[in-house]
Structure 1
Amino acid sequence: MKKIISLAPGRTCLFGDHQDYLGLPVIACAISRSIKLTAVQNCTGVFKLSMVDIDQIRIIDINEIFSELEPRDYFASALRVLRRYGCIPNVGYDITVTGDIPINSGTSSSSALLLAWINFLVTAFGVNEEVTPEFISKMGYLSEVVEHGEPGGMMDHYSIGVGNVVYINTVSPFSFTVIGKQLDGLVTGVSGVPKETIGLIGELKGNALLAIEILKENFKDFDLNTTEIEDLKKYCDFLPDRLIPYFKAAVKNHHYTKMALIEFQKTSLDLKKIGELMNGHHAVLRDLLKITVPRIDAMIDAALKAGAYGAKIVGSGGGGSIVAMAEPGKESQVVEAMLAAGAVAAYAVNVDPGARIVNTF
């Protein structure tokens, strides 16, 4: 019986949270925590998915076309999308899913599971396209965001699918560039406070887009991608008070991402400078978008006091995780400080090469 092992890492956003759905760039990296999908061919005509870590079993008929989707059923939406690209299941598999990415923590456990599933399906049944990291990433984005009409962007899928440290340009024409394969000193801390993704992203995205729409009505040449911090006063005079924080956040976060890209393009990385930019980015997320919670703030303060160069909340917010840039060799001190501040888990991470098929038999 054929056996396929598919692995997909989690990710952390270094710069550009709440930016990709506005057409602004992101710097993210895949991290060394992953979802592993082990599939063994069977003779039943079904996919039997045993999700060990959450003690759930899902049975899917290989001929099911899913004319209607249940919310967030990414197993189904991926099958539906891949059928359009010539991926037609013709045999069943017994599939065991395990992983060490904390669930609902802001490090994309759901997107990692989705890309591991997509990579398995493509490997098992083929497609009518060249299979590249970009193709796998695109299938993830279509399956999770487009097919379900969700408000997220492309960051999760391309950072996991492409791997490494990646600069993602989300404005048309879309592009991505691997800007690094190693980043020392990364530490992730998990707050244990469940994040609220869909509703929070929808609210922040809606308010930011409304502000942009108003400015386009008043300035024919307005372009968010070329707006600088110096332009804020001119533009904010045309916005209602309640929308100003969302617009300011978009411009300031974009500024920190641009400054970070300059640092990543240098021959030798200045981790202290990157950490300082992280701190500036986090201040925007905390003070303007207000997506932090007390435990997240405590963990970040503790990490900085323990000697981290910088730290920030990761992902949609309202809970989840943080990422810190520690001085290499002092990661354990930052880990201990996070745990003392209330983190339910904290650990050093390395940059991961991305979603991949580990083995086929």
Structure 2
Amino acid sequence: MSYYLKVPARINILGNPSDAVEGDFATISMAISLYAHAIIEPSDKIVFEMRAPGSGNDNQSKDFPLNSVFECELSNSLIPMDDEPKLCKGAFNFLLKISPEFRSKICRRGFRLTTWSEVPRQSGLGGSSLFVILTLAALREFYHLDTQIMNNYVLAEMTQRIEENELGITCGFADRYVPIFGGLAYIDYRGKLFHKSITQEPFATYEILNRWAGKLSLVAITTGLKHDSGNIHHAMRTKYLEEYNTWYHKGGSKPPMIKYMERIWETAWKGKIALLNSEMETFGQMMNLNHGVVNDMMNYCGFQEGAGRLNNLLIQTALNQHALGAKLTGAGQGGSIYALVKPGKENELADVWEKQIKELNLQNASIYTPKISVQGLSIKDKENKTGLI
């Protein structure tokens, strides 16, 4: 049997980066209608195919040019990580290490896993995590692995451990939870700062808000400038943990990184209250405060341009156009920003940004209006299109 899988990208609206990467507090995050896709089908070998970006139709995937392909004979041995697709291979290896059930089944039949994505690479939308999630979910479905043991919370936790421990990417948890669970959510990460083994720390608490909150009128821009979020987070997480550990053991006044992250957390919980009360101007103010603190914190951590000169320029343009709030959604120094505007004003800001990116010669930039993806991870029987999740 073959399966088609789809998983949405995410934006962090408030509270980032306090998703247990530089402080274990909370974010308001939203799954958006940009997706990564996968097809898993029987094969006599183990095959990974990563195809060029496409439009998201599972019937079109074979028409996209190959970016990378890897195949090997059936075996329950670890796959070499010296070439692409490393995200998929890292997920496969991790599952081999922790799942006796998977190790016992992998030698009985092979698979071909084909993946592709609509999400721009290194755009600050959590795109790399999507390939890990798709690989784990596809293997879980294809090999009928125990879904109580490997439930969606565990899937999110595994994704974070794979990226951090197998692939060396410094990361938190928002990018791993939001694509799986979907919607607009307030996510609590308290107790997850040290990234202990799965079940040795709390799972994140995922509180859906879109059933009660009003619509967010958002406009987003991906600059097209590539950045490595792991490198940026590594510098800031290292600084945070150094100051936290010294303060925890020696006491005294709170160090700067703790103060920065507590202020960022405040934007998330106050923003939740404002959102549920439909107080969009207050919500926008929290966005502006969140970005200002992140900009100051990045300067403090040695990034001379803070959150990035170009990002700050585009954010200021949005505010000059009377946006209620504007901020980063990624790690800074590139990636994406978004703005909250009054309903019906989306096109006005998009037109101004469009003119600006031409003046700045940002040839790979793109502007879009993020729409909520209420559903997160979805899995269908490819033959009869039956929805499984």
Q: What TM-score range do you get, normalising by the shorter chain?
A: 0.7 to 0.9
Aligned to 2:8, the other structure's residue is in SS state strand
* Aligned match of 2:46: 46
Counterpart check, 1:142 vs 2:174: no
Contact 1:24/1:254, CA 8 A, preserved across alignment: yes
Counterpart check, 1:356 vs 2:378: yes
Aligned-partner Cα distance in 1 for 2:381–2:279: 37
Residues 242-281 of structure 1: matches in 2 within 5 Å?
244=256, 246-264=257-275, 266=276, 268-281=277-290
Residues 286-325 of structure 1: matches in 2 within 5 Å?
286-290=295-299, 291-325=306-340
Shift of 1:67: 6.7
Aligned-partner Cα distance in 1 for 2:219–2:381: 29
Residues 1-361 of structure 1: matches in 2 within 5 Å?
2-20=1-19, 21=21, 22-42=23-43, 44-53=44-53, 55-61=66-72, 62-63=74-75, 65-66=77-78, 69-70=81-82, 73-83=86-96, 84-85=98-99, 86-87=101-102, 88-89=105-106, 90-130=108-148, 132-172=151-191, 173-181=202-210, 183-219=215-251, 235=253, 244=256, 246-264=257-275, 266=276, 268-290=277-299, 291-342=306-357, 344-352=365-373, 353-361=375-383
Aligned-partner Cα distance in 2 for 1:347–1:257: 24
1:99 aligned partner, one-letter code:
S
Distance 1:132 1:350, change over 3 A: farther
* CA RMSD of superposed structures (Å): 2.4
Aligned-partner Cα distance in 2 for 1:52–1:337: 30
Q: Which region of structure 1 is more displaced relative to structure 2, 274-283 or 304-313?
A: 304-313
Shift of 1:98: 2.5
Aligned to 1:235, the other structure's residue is in SS state coil
Aligned-partner Cα distance in 2 for 1:257–1:277: 8
Q: Which region of structure 1 is more displaced relative to structure 2, 106-115 or 90-99?
A: 90-99
Q: Deviations over 1:146-191 (max 9, x none)?
A: 4345321111100111111122222233332233237431222101
Shift of 1:64: 5.3
Aligned-partner Cα distance in 1 for 2:189–2:273: 18
Contact 1:276/1:309, CA 8 A, preserved across alignment: yes
* Aligned match of 1:222: none
2:27 aligned partner, one-letter code:
V
Number of residue pairs aligned between Structure 1 and Structure 2: 336
Aligned to 1:262, the other structure's residue is in SS state helix
Aligned to 2:265, the other structure's residue is in SS state helix
Contact 2:50/2:68, CA 8 A, preserved across alignment: yes
Aligned to 2:332, the other structure's residue is in SS state coil
Aligned to 2:298, the other structure's residue is in SS state coil
Aligned-partner Cα distance in 1 for 2:185–2:380: 22
Shift of 1:334: 2.1
Aligned to 1:341, the other structure's residue is in SS state helix
Contact 1:6/1:117, CA 8 A, preserved across alignment: no
Shift of 1:107: 0.3
Aligned to 1:213, the other structure's residue is in SS state helix
TM-score normalized by the length of structure 2: 0.79
Percent identity, aligned pairs only? Answer: 19
Aligned-partner Cα distance in 1 for 2:13–2:5: 26
Aligned-partner Cα distance in 2 for 1:78–1:93: 14
Shift of 1:13: 0.7
Aligned-partner Cα distance in 1 for 2:38–2:259: 42
Aligned to 2:206, the other structure's residue is in SS state strand
Q: Deviations over 1:18-71 (max 9, x none)?
A: 2122222222111110111123333x3121414123841221334253276459
Contact 1:190/1:320, CA 8 A, preserved across alignment: yes
